[in-house]
Copies of this chain bind each other. A is one copy, B any other.
Amino acid sequence: MKDQDNKTLSNTQRAVRDLRQMIVSGELAAGTDHLESELAATLGMSRTPVREAALMLESKGLLEMRPRKGVRILPVSSEDMREIYDILTELESLAAQRAAEAGYSKEDLAVLAASIAQMDKAIETEDLEAWAKADELFHQELVRLGGNKRIEAIVAMMSDQVRRARATTLFIRPLPVKSNEDHRAVFQAICEGRPDEAHDRHREHRLQAKAILCGILEKHRLNSL
Taking Cβ atoms with an 8 Å cutoff, the residues of A that contact B are: 48, 51-52, 55-56, 58-61, 83-84, 86-87, 90-91, 94, 148-151, 154, 158
User: CA separation between A110 and B59, bound complex, in Å?
Assistant: 31
Which residue of B48, B52, B90, B151 is within 8 Å of A83 (Cβ)?
Answer: B151
Instruction: Name the B residues within 8 Å of A83 (CB-CB).
Output: 148-151
Instruction: Name the B residues within 8 Å of A59 (CB-CB).
Output: 56, 59-60
Instruction: Name the B residues within 8 Å of A87 (CB-CB).
Output: 91, 148, 150-151, 154
Instruction: Name the B residues within 8 Å of A90 (CB-CB).
Output: 90-91, 94
Closest to A92 in B: B90
Q: How far is the CB of A7 from chain B (nearest CB, A)?
A: 15
Instruction: Name the B residues within 8 Å of A158 (CB-CB).
Output: 150
Which residue of B48, B55, B84, B149 is within 8 Å of A150 (Cβ)?
Answer: B84
Q: How far is the CB of A187 from chain B (nearest CB, A)?
A: 22
- Determine if A154 and B151 form an interchain contact, defined as CB atoms under 8 angstroms apart: no
Instruction: Name the B residues within 8 Å of A94 (CB-CB).
Output: 86, 90
Instruction: Name the B residues within 8 Å of A52 (CB-CB).
Output: 51-52, 55
Q: Count chain B CB atoms within 10 A of each CB in A86, A94, A148 and give the residue with the most.
A: A86
- Determine if B56 and A86 form an interchain contact, defined as CB atoms under 8 angstroms apart: no
Q: How far is the CB of A12 from chain B (nearest CB, A)?
A: 8
Closest to A151 in B: B87
User: CA separation between A72 and B150, bound complex, in Å?
Assistant: 19
User: CA separation between A100 and B85, bound complex, in Å?
Assistant: 19
User: CA separation between A59 and B60, bound complex, in Å?
Assistant: 8
Instruction: Name the B residues within 8 Å of A51 (CB-CB).
Output: 52
Instruction: Name the B residues within 8 Å of A154 (CB-CB).
Output: 87, 154
- Determine if B55 and A151 form an interchain contact, defined as CB atoms under 8 angstroms apart: no
User: CA separation between A61 and B149, bound complex, in Å?
Assistant: 11
User: CA separation between A86 and B150, bound complex, in Å?
Assistant: 10
Listed A/B pairs (5) with beta-carbon separation below 8 Å:
A52-B52, A86-B94, A87-B151, A87-B154, A90-B90
